[in-house]
Amino acid sequence: MTAVQHSESADRAPIGFREFVVMVAALMALGAIGVDTMLPALPAIGAHLHVATENERQYVISIYLIGLGLGQLIHGPLADRFGRRPVLIAALSIYGVANVVAAFSASFPLLLVARLFGAVAVAATRVVTIALVRDCYSGRAMARVMSLVIIVFMIAPVMAPSLGQFILLFGSWRLIFSVIATLTAIVLVWFALRMPETLAGERLPFSIARLIEGYRTTVTNRASLGYMLAATALQGALFGYITSVQQVVTTVFHAPKQLNLVFAGTAGMMAVANLLNSRVVMRLGSRLLSHSAVVVLIALAAINLVTELLGGETLIMFVILQALTMGCLGLASSNFSAMAMQDMGKIAGTASSVQGFCAITLGALVGTMIGQSFAGTTMPMHLGFLCCGVVALAIIAVTERGRLFRPA
């Protein structure tokens, strides 16, 4: 067995494989729950806190996504200096408190501030867990683990809107934040009891010079930079969908009661795509799968756009085509993350923080622009997927020097 093969097959997870995957997925899902449970509550939040327009209500989502991106730059270097475990424990504690503050917010600005601070804290559940996975796996094995994590993780956005709607049956939108705080406490206790430290070797010193060097290494490595930027483009399309789907279903298709089913159908396809990826990535390779997925995504986005322009779009057609599009996005994104991190083992925390900051912060800004362009049609959403897909394909073509679809 070669050194590369041994590295890719190494299993250094300190707990059982299944529990490891589910725990990492649960940690990452906390951030997603903070987004998707809000969707059915946006009208109530707007009414109770006197928000004038529907597009302004999107800030409940947008400010959270921006905070998720900004938090990436903080947690990665801290995780390389102090370890994965203490950073995650502190971050989860702060996130729980922020949700309690949001639950008792008496004004829209205070709610947004609580959302921002909570998002900055919960950003650790992405950047530090990716570093944690990188501590234990590499190469195609890491891509397989990330695919399995995303399958479990995608249960959160599938169920979150329904969870939010269910909670609203028993209380106001404030109860949603209380439930999120409770779930955070449960995951925090589980992680603290079961997951030991995974950072082996010498801890990297926390200094400005080291941070700059880590950032420089991350953005000058061809694969890291290229796949980070490609993932950013796809995240922009995803966030554009998240910020505007509630208005699309309600205003365009006049089916507000179907929001949960629409979201479950589209997010569920991402889970199916990642299940497929986990089964075949070790044999076919990350490049062939992800590059092909981006090409199909572009074609589906173009079909969606043409259908809308011709006036033939129905809710059922929207769900089917959008679900397939989201499946392609999920297939590409999980592999992009693994390829971007492949050469970053020695600075996994810092590298994942830079990559996460770029993907989420810039992606959130693109998604906000797509969402704010909503004017009663699905055109901005479909155009966003088309443009972001083309940009992602162009970036990976440059990164791979034109050699796309390589099996290895």
**Which residues neighbour 292 within 8 Å (Cβ) at sequence distance 6 or greater?**
405
pLDDT at 16: 78
Q: Where does the pLDDT of residue 152 fall: very low under 50, low under 70, confident under 90, or very high at 90 and above?
A: low
Residue 3: pLDDT band (50, 70, 90) is: very low
Q: Tell me the CATH number at 387.
A: 1.20.1250.20
What's residue 7's pLDDT? 40
Tell me, yes or no, whether 144 lies in a domain: yes
Is residue 128 domain-resident? yes
Q: Cα dihedral sign for 72, 74, 76, 82?
A: negative
Q: Please determine, for residue 6, whether its predicted confidence score (pLDDT) is greater than 50.
A: no
Q: Indicate whether 147 belongs to any domain.
A: yes
Q: What are the tens digits of pLDDT across the range 240-255?
A: 998 888 889 988 898 8
Residue 8 counted as domain residue:
no
In contact, 13 and 133? CB cutoff 8 Å: no
In angstroms, the CA 71 to CA 353 distance is 8
The span from the CA of 298 to the CA of 387, in Å, is 8
In a domain, 375, yes or no: yes
Give pLDDT tens digits for 201-221.
Answer: 666 666 777 778 888 888 899
Residues 6+ apart with CB under 8 A from 120: 67, 68, 70, 71, 74
- The larger pLDDT score, comparing residue 96 to residue 312, is at 96
Query: What is the rounded distance in angstroms from the CA atom of residue 192 to the CA atom of residue 333?
Result: 29
Q: What whole-number distance in Å separates Cα of residue 91 and Cα of residue 245?
A: 29
- 9: in domain: no
pLDDT at site 2: 38
Q: Number of folded domains in the chain?
A: 1
Tell me how far CA of residue 408 lies from CA of 119, 281, 282, 339, in angstroms.
37, 10, 10, 12
Q: State the average pLDDT over residues 367-381.
A: 89
**DSSP state letter for 311:** T
Give the closest residue to 210 by CA, choosing from 346, 71, 42, 101: 346
**What pLDDT does residue 8 have?**
40
**Nearest-angstrom CA–CA distance, 126 and 72:** 8
Res. 161: pLDDT tops 80: no
Residue 406 lies in a domain: no
Write down the pLDDT at residue 69. 80
The token pair at 317 is 């057609």
Q: How far apart are CA 203 and CA 322, in angstroms?
A: 44
pLDDT band per the 50, 70, 90 thresholds, residue 407: low
Q: What is the mean pLDDT of residues 347-363?
A: 80
- CA dist., res. 347 & res. 221, Å (int): 12
d(CA 378, CA 186): 39
> Which bin fits 243, alpha (ψ -120 to 50), beta or left (φ > 0)?
alpha
- Domain membership of residue 315 (yes or no) is yes
pLDDT digits (tens, 9 = 90+) for 29-61: 898 888 878 878 888 888 888 887 777 887 888
pLDDT tens for 167-200 read 888 888 999 999 999 999 999 999 999 888 877 7
Cβ–Cβ under 8 Å, residues 123 and 31:
yes
Closest by CA to 65, choosing from 366, 381, 329, is 366
Distance between CA atoms of 66 and 90, rounded to whole angstroms?
20
* 63 and 118 Cβ atoms separated by less than 8 Å: no
Q: Write out the two tokens for 270.
A: 């991402």
In the numeric block, which tokens belong to residue 269? Answer: 């396809």
Average pLDDT rounded to a whole number, residues 16-31: 85
Distance CA 362, CA 82 (A): 28
Residue 122 and residue 35 in contact, taking contact as beta carbons nearer than 8 Å = no
Quickly list DSSP for 119-184: HHHHTHHHHHHHHHHHHH--HHHHHHHHHHHHHHHTHHHHHHHHHHHHHHTTS-HHHHHHHHHHHH
pLDDT at residue 273, rounded to an integer: 83
User: Residues 114, 70, 143, 344: what is their CA dihedral angle, to the nearest 10 degrees?
Assistant: -140
Tell which residue, 261, 251, 203, 217, has the closest CA to residue 82: 203
Query: Rounded mean pLDDT of the chain?
Result: 84
Residue 325 in tokens: 């599009």
* Domain of residue 380, residue span: 15-399
Gyration radius (Cα) of the chain, Å: 20
Averaged pLDDT for residues 145-151: 72
Measured CA to CA, the distance from residue 13 to residue 136 in angstroms comes to 5
